[in-house]
Chains A and B, each alone.
Chain A
Amino acid sequence: MKVRLVLEALSLAGALLVAPAFAQVAIVLNSGDGTVSIIDKAEKKEVKRIPVGKEPHHLMATPDDQFLIVANAVSNDLVLLDPKTGEIRRRIDKISDPYQIGFSPDKKWFVSVSLRLNRTDVYDGDFKLVKRIATPKAPSHVAFTSDSKLAFITLQDSNELAAIDLATQVVKWTMPVGTMPAGVWVTPDDKYVLVGMTGADYVEVVDWRTQKTVKKIKTGKGAHNFIAMGDGRRILVSNRVANTVNIIDQQTLEVVDTIRVPGGPDCMELTADGKELWVTSRWAKKVTIVDMASKQIAKQIPVGNSPHGIYFMGHAARK
């Protein structure tokens, strides 16, 4: 009995020793350098920088969470990383100018937005091209309805929001929104689409069924990208010019808090326990970590040039 207890204790200790090595890596895309910074999450220190391709901007996990997809806009490819270590596992070529990417919730469609070339490309779940769709001007970000029927695309230079019917791969409608729409977010109840106005200081709330703007939520200047806080109610929006992050309540559609994050805050990742917010500070070439209890900066980690996408396992739920 004693021997068994000792063995169990040893195995538990072993598991604890091994597990953190897999769980504590943050991955940051240095879009200006073509590299990925691998950060030890516990030590809050960059441990490695791996060349990944030309202009990696955005990244996301595959639907099965087995890989992390890095979109290299200028290399015209996707690179699949091991999300536990950041090491390169596979390269998928002939993906035209992938800037922002997204999988529909039913995992049937992979959508790649080409900011430079005014295209939205729809692929199937195995990255086979289904259709290229002209979406001028400067398609920037993508979000989906929960039934996977529509993909919403922000058109940064024509100040519009477009809806693509995924089954037929045609632009179903476009509607005018504010200046320089970038980040786009669908509320969990599917009622509204929120659009970050990077050229202004608000988030536009769109009733997509009627294609009407129902509200403008005042934020800091340069409202850019969204991420969920994991409680199904609150989301974060980064304000690239004001150097702040706002917390928005999706039920009241109001800003409930403001956090100061210097250096052009862009993409974000929140720990599952909600204690730490990691933000890429684009202009500062750093990742800024915010202690969410005090809303103060806990640390800034120097990374590569123009850090953009960020990911780690153990993040808050995406809704």
Chain B
Amino acid sequence: MFNWIQELFAELHQHVFESGVLPVLYALELGGEAERAFNATELFLIGAIEITFLAIVLGTLEKWRPVEVQSHSGWKKTDALYTMLHRLGFVPLLLFFMLMPLVDTLDGALRMHDIIPPNLEDWVPWLAGAPLVSFLVYLLVLDFVAYWLHRWQHRFNWWWSLHALHHSQREMSFWSDDRNHLLDDLLIDSAHVMVALLIGVPPGQFIALVVASRMIESLSHANLRLHFGRVGERLLVSPRFHRVHHGVGVGHEGRTQGCNFAVLFPIWDVMFGTANFEPTFPATGIRDQADGREYGDTFWRQQWLGLQRLLVRQ
């Protein structure tokens, strides 16, 4: 069954690449990018399948047990656009082409001084023979990094001025996960690239697990009255746990400028004293929206206002 699906996907991937992508690359004299384009085609197709799956499964769940009745379909459409741009690979590709020349130059210069950036497997050699374990270790380390980056998105006012866009959705749904300012995305990706120079990159063969972790992030934003139970809430970020993070006031104010910063594993919030397991499903958004502050309803308006907040710093 599984092999059959894999082979069908392989044929689709090959067909789309050879008949659609490769001729365009050659017409643009970009044949040297064939391997990268082949991988990008795979990510695009997986993203399309993932989005369809999310729309059907999480869409159904949201209808089944919604936290709130939502009436602004335009807000949701904008969030859906962010999801398409991210999960189909357009934003990641743009950031990749912006960052990789810099990283390769730095990496190349280091190696000329005989500094070869390490992989986790260099420190724990047996991980090289156990790629699944290696992937899970990377996932844990990268989630730890994501937790602290998220803390800083709230901690530093200039960074919050960008990250506020993500929090400004007052009718949060599973589409809201990728609703970010592009500069915010650039900062987060730059940080991850630096981390990759320190510890290497995870083994690349577990795309299904990458997709699964993205789906958990979508689920955590869903308009869904769901929690994972006393133990489960502490193991994996649930819709209730993350909704508290988006709660007006609760999620972005106080001594630690919010709570429940974890992306996948709440253990980091427990360890660093930012966990809030209150069994509530608060209204989402930012407090100053009640005073009439505008964060924008459309993609470009949101990006523009984010830039203004950053530069003008009100």
The interface of chain A, by Cβ under 8 A from chain B, is 32-35, 51, 53-55, 74-76, 88, 91, 93-94, 96-97, 116-119, 129, 132, 134, 138, 156-157, 179-180, 198-199, 221-222, 240-241, 243, 263-264, 282-285, 302, 304-306
Contact = CB atoms under 8 A, between A and B. Distances in A.
Given A118-B108, A264-B18, A284-B10, A75 B39 contact: no
A61 B121 CA distance: 25
Given A91-B128, A138-B32, A241-B31, 4 more contacts: A51-B131, A51-B203, A75-B121, A283-B38
Contact of B38 (A74, A118, A306): A306
Interface of B: 3, 7, 10-11, 13-14, 17-18, 22, 26, 29, 31-32, 34-35, 38-39, 104, 107-108, 111-112, 114, 116-117, 119, 121-122, 125, 128-131, 200-201, 203-205
Nearest to A94: B116
Ranked 9 nearest A-B pairs via Cβ: A117-B108, A33-B205, A199-B31, A51-B131, A285-B10, A283-B14, A96-B111, A284-B14, A180-B31
Nearest to A243: B18
Most chain A beta-carbon contacts within 10 A, residue among B29, B131, B200: B131
Given A118-B108, A285-B10, A74 B29 contact: no
A302 B108 CA distance: 36
26 contacts: A34-B204, A34-B205, A76-B117, A76-B119, A93-B122, A94-B116, A96-B116, A117-B104, A119-B112, A132-B112, A134-B112, A138-B32, A157-B32, A180-B32, A198-B34, A199-B31, A199-B32, A241-B26, A263-B18, A264-B18, A283-B13, A283-B14, A283-B17, A284-B14, A285-B13, A302-B3
A199 B29 contact: yes
B204 A33 contact: yes
A221 B93 CA distance: 27
B207 to A, nearest CB: 9
A50 to B, nearest CB: 9
Most chain A beta-carbon contacts within 10 A, residue among B11, B104, B203: B203
Contacts of A35: 205
Contacts of B7: 302
Contacts of A54: 119, 200-201, 203-204
A301 B38 CA distance: 20
Contacts of A156: 32
Contacts of A282: 38
A288 B172 CA distance: 50
A243 B122 CA distance: 39
Given A117-B107, A199-B32, A264-B18, A75 B116 contact: no
B130 to A, nearest CB: 7
B14 A32 contact: no
Contact of A51 (B22, B125, B130): B130
Contact of B116 (A76, A91, A263, A302): A76
A35 B134 CA distance: 14
Contacts of A117: 104, 107-108, 111
Nearest to B205: A33
A55 B117 CA distance: 16
B30 to A, nearest CB: 9
Contacts of B119: 54, 74-76
A32 B39 contact: yes
Given A51-B128, A305-B205, A199 B26 contact: yes
Contacts of A134: 112
Nearest to B203: A34
Contacts of A264: 18
Contacts of B31: 179-180, 198-199, 222, 241
Nearest to A222: B31
Contacts of B34: 198, 240
A75 B125 CA distance: 11
Nearest to A95: B116
A283 B205 contact: no
